[in-house]
A and B are shown apart, each in its own frame.
Chain A
Amino acid sequence: MSHEQLYSTFALGEHYFGVDVNKVQEIIRYQNMTPVPLAEHVIRGLINLRGQIVTAMDLRRRMEMDDLPEGKKSMNVVIRTDDGAISLLVDEIGDVISVDDQTFEECPETLKGVARDLIKGAYKLENKLLLILDTQKVCQLNTVQ
């Protein structure tokens, strides 16, 4: 008995990530952002999404990766959370793919740092791994200073 799951995929550096397609509200091109001074490093700014104000979080910074080289513009994956929409800035958008539940495996113990908390596990695709993000944890910033 295997179940097929749908994931919306995107690239971040050399990694290939996926989020549950049901959580994705929409995917949009690079938007102008209003920076929020004093906010946490991972918050890139605020986006006007058809009259709704959405916080844009740099997923590279969230995953403690280096910033996208200058000149390259990121894409927005707007996901729904309990506290409204939030936009994740990613490098490139991939397809919505269907994966078999049985190819899923949890993260190995050796995974270090933030990735360990934020990645639920991986689907073993034929030629690469599809890393599944825990969107809830991604959106949760440690406000404990």
Chain B
Amino acid sequence: MDDIVKEFLVESNENLDQMDRNFVELEKDPTNKELLSAIFRTIHTIKGTCGFLGFGKLESVAHVGESLLSKLRDGSLTLNPDFTTILLTMVDAVRQMLSSIESSGAEGDVDYSLLVENLNKAQRGEPLNLSDSAKPEAKPEVKPEVKVTPQESAPEVKAEVKPEIKPEVIEAKVEVKTEIVPEVPPPVVKMEEVKIEVPKAPEKPAEPVKAPEPVKAAEPVKAAEPVKTPEPAKASGPAPTPSPSPSRGEAKAGSSVADTAIRVDVGLLDKLMNLVGELVLARNQILQFTAKQEDSTFVAASQRLNLITSELQEGVMKTRMQPIGNIWSKFPRVVRDLATICKKKIRLQMEGQETELDKTIIEAIKDPLTHLVRNSVDHGIEMPEERAAKGKSEEGVILLRAYHEGGQVNIEISDNGGGISPEKVKQKALQKGLITAEDAARMSDRLLVNLIFLPGFSTAEKVSNISGRGVGMDVVKTNIEKIGGMVDIQSNPGEGTTIKVKIPLTLAIIPALIVTSGGWKYAIPQASLLELVRVENEPGKKKIENIQGAPVYRLRGKLLPLVYLREQLGDFTKPNEENVNIVVLQADDRHFGLVVDEINDTQEIVVKPVGKQLKGVPTFAGATIMGDGHVALILDIMGIAQRANLVSELHDHAIQDMNSTQVKSSDVKSMLLFASRDNGRMAVNLSEVARLEKFDNKEIERAGDQEVIQYRGEIMSLIRVSSVIPERRRVPRDAEAIIKNVGDSIQVVVYSQNGKNVGIVIDKVLDIVETDEAIQESGSRKGIAGTVVIQERITEILDIPRAIDLYHQKIHLNKTEEPLAKEESYVS
């Protein structure tokens, strides 16, 4: 696509956003000439440019819109809601065509003739009929407001410019009120970009940004973005006649802010950010090294490196920051449209538009926020009559607030509507089977209200085209959690609802606490960290208590549930630690303590993505590289909390098992429990087992009468338990025949005897248990060392060396032509 077209799209979309805002404001103050002029200019610019670029359809739609607007501006028509609606429809049509141009390069096949007709009707409906309304007669006017549409002008300088392409809007300093700057599409930029503001005195007159191109015969003077630096007041004046070849000398004026801001490709910023990330890592490495050095010059140099790196990191981070107002700017229009559809009266207030966030985060929260605002309009605010009946003002208010707090950005969406009834939510959740009645009875109102984030939940009585399909809120929650944020909802029935979204400032480099578990280091993002507690183990004083197997700690009189990181990482060996290190964390609303082996220090870490092979593990949010070059995993606190809850609820018995093992005596043995042929239970001492293996039946080979398998480069004989230990039922069965039907793989306990491996084939591993029960000697069966009660069942302990002997005896007998079926003879 042509760069000119790209630029046109970028500019037009920005202008349209501004126009939406202007329209909403205009409704409140229908006679505001400045707003009307601003809107008019935007449409005019789009029309002019697309005429030049050859987008006839777009031009024709913009043209009729412009005609109507020009009458409104002249005062020959007064704005009414119908006009606003039809004009907004026109804006949408323009948008639609722009997006079609963006995706396919053409305007698309949508028919806009009805819209054109309506727009025409709108202007014909009035006595004053100015047929040449396409020719605007703009007066230069001074705009005092700070926020102004970035004015892009049509490149009217070309020879084939259509007659109605008009004088261009320019921006100049106040004192140069009617200076004319024919503009040309500004310097080529990519579609996705952010603006960078260079803090600089805005009063300086602008220099041409780029050398003039001969064909276009004009200077690419670019208007300043309405970002938040103070702008000089602007004078805008259309040229009286289109001038095909304006003299270049005139093109000197322009907004002075244009000079202090440049556009930069986001890709470049991302690259810079990555490089800074690498630099931070290198810095961490050097600092670690510095700690061991005594050379003061070196130490000083590395401290300086440290400072500069931090500043650079901060600076680069700032370039990626954008005010949240950028996404909020769409909301006035959204709210207005929805309110009109729902026939509600709603005022949208915004606070803290200037709060800045990383661009990637801004992108990520755009849709969730839109959804929340729509929800507030649709479900939050009541109908005007209802409000009046309740003694509220008919006009509902939705307040958007954004502010920084503790390294995070908080965004609140509150309405003064009906609020959410916990009772209603409860009924709905029960009805849909999302919670059980017992759960419901236990839940606080606050928890109940938060149920609306469950998938499949919707309290709306009917599904509207706005909301109520029950997919929204859980998607909002997942999307926000994906970027490390949290959502919370508070509602007072009758008074309104506040949804609070907490999100991190940036994703790329985060402060983190480094902890050790099982000898490996893990990083915990500091955003979820509340405090660190170290429990000294004093004799006679038990600080960690148990509630039904769930460990808790009394933190300032409140019970803090504890989660052992080791267990969460699948390591159930419990180190008998003297002291307990608790990292108090917050996940959602809940606080919990994560018990770690060791707390190291805090560090700025660079979040690096991990391969998709690890995406299935919810416990980790990513990985980072430590100062020593090792990779450390970043814990996903939300994931751990969810996992831990699941475990505590679903595996009660597992916890009980753990409890029972806590009363270990000194002679506790670990036993491998497996099923024997006749549904009995057998066990072997785990200390005798070298490995547990699974083999494919096809891998089994025969050497003479023995079954063997190739295992780790040697030949291992396989002994089937059922062939050496007779069945208890004493009815001899052809054990091997049964085995053939078992399946296509076998489980083997590898037993090491004098450096040689022997495989004991068992049918099914049941469990690994710990027991301190004494073994009862039993002489009734050969190959059985005794019996023991495990899990309330009598279990036979296999005597492996004896079983191997029996096997060899049997082989020997087979060799001497003894029939195999004579197993019975081994039983005494």
- Contact check, A36 vs B696: say whether CB atoms are below 8 A apart: no
Interchain CB contact (< 8 A) of B629 among A48, A54, A55: A48
Q: Within 8 Å CB of A38, what residues of B?
A: 569-570, 617, 619
Chain A residues positioned under 8 Å from B571 (CB to CB)? 37
A61 to chain B, nearest CB (A): 13
Residues A37 and B632 in contact, CB atoms below 8 Å apart: no
Q: Is the CB of B281 within 8 A of A143?
A: no
Contact, CB under 8 Å: A112 / B569? no
Check if A34 sits within 8 Å of B630, measured CB to CB. yes
Whether the Cβ atoms of B278 and A51 lie closer than 8 Å is yes
Inter-chain contact B631/A55, CB cutoff 8 Å? no
- A37 with B630: in contact, given A53-B610, A55-B613, A113-B696 (CB under 8 Å)? no
Is A119 among interface residues, defined by CB-CB distance under 8 A?
no
The answer, yes or no, to whether B299 is at the interface (CB within 8 Å) is: no
Q: Which of A32, A40, A46, A143 has the most CB of B within 10 A?
A: A46
Q: Residue of A at shortest CB range from B612? A: A83
- The answer on a CB contact under 8 Å between B633 and A36 is yes
The yes or no answer to A125 lying at the interface (CB within 8 A) is no
**Would you give the 0/1 interface string for B614-633, flagging 1 where the beta carbon is closer than 8 Å to chain A?**
11110110010100011111
CB distance from B611 to the nearest CB of A (A): 4
The chain B residue with its CB closest to the CB of A46 is: B631
Chain A residues with Cβ under 8 A from B625's Cβ?
Answer: 48, 51, 53
The answer to whether A55 touches B614 (Cβ under 8 A) is yes
Interface residues of B in 588-630 (CB under 8 A from A): 608-617, 619-620, 623, 625, 629-630
- Check if A139 sits within 8 Å of B613, measured CB to CB: yes
**Contact residues on A (Cβ < 8 Å of other chain), bracket:** 20 to 34
**B712 contacts the other chain (Cβ, under 8 Å)?**
yes
Q: Quote the shortest CB–CB distance from B512 to chain A (angstroms).
A: 15
How many residues of chain B are within 8 Å of chain A by beta carbon? 31
Q: Which of B570, B611, B711 contacts A84 (CB 8 A)?
A: B611
Q: Are the C-beta atoms of A34 and B631 separated by less than 8 Å?
A: yes
Contacts of A112 in B (CB 8 A): 696, 698
Q: Mark A13-42, 1 if CB is under 8 A from B, else 0.
A: 000000000000000000011111111100
Smallest Cβ distance from A64 to chain B, in angstroms? 8
B611 touches A54 (CB 8 A): yes
Q: Does A89 contact B (CB under 8 A)?
A: no
Given A38-B570, A54-B611, verify A48-B617 contact (CB < 8 Å).
no
Q: Tell me if A4 is interfacial: C-beta within 8 Å of chain B.
A: no
CB distance from A93 to the nearest CB of B (A): 21
Residue of B with least CB distance to A51? B278
A83 to B611, CA, bound (A): 7
A1 CB to closest chain B CB (Å) equals 39
Contacts of A113 in B (CB 8 A): 696
Answer whether residue B520 sits at the interface, using C-beta atoms and an 8 A cutoff.
yes
Residues of A within 8 A of B711 (CB): 66
Q: Closest Cβ of chain A: how far from B569's Cβ, in Å?
A: 4
Instruction: Give the distance to chain B from A120, nearest Cβ to Cβ, in Å.
Output: 21
Q: How far is the CB of B752 from chain A (nearest CB, A)?
A: 14
Contact with A46, one of B518, B610, B696, B698 (Cβ below 8 angstroms): B610
CA distance A38 to B712 in the complex (A): 26
**Chain B residues in 8 Å Cβ range of A46:** 610, 623, 631, 633
In Å, the complex CA distance between A37 and B630 comes to 16
A69 to B713, CA, bound (A): 10
Give the shortest distance, in Å, between B270 (CB) and chain A (any CB). 16
* B612 surroundings in chain A (CB, below 8 A): 83
B608: chain A residues within 8 A (beta carbon):
52-53
Q: Which of A88-117 contact B (CB under 8 A)?
A: 112-113
Q: A34-B520, A53-B610, A83-B612 are in contact. List 20 more A-B contacts (CB 8 A).
A: A32-B630, A35-B520, A36-B614, A36-B620, A36-B633, A37-B570, A37-B619, A38-B570, A39-B613, A39-B614, A43-B613, A43-B614, A46-B610, A46-B633, A48-B631, A51-B278, A51-B281, A84-B611, A112-B698, A145-B616
Closest 9 CB pairs of A and B: A37-B569, A55-B611, A34-B631, A46-B631, A143-B616, A53-B608, A83-B612, A37-B570, A53-B623
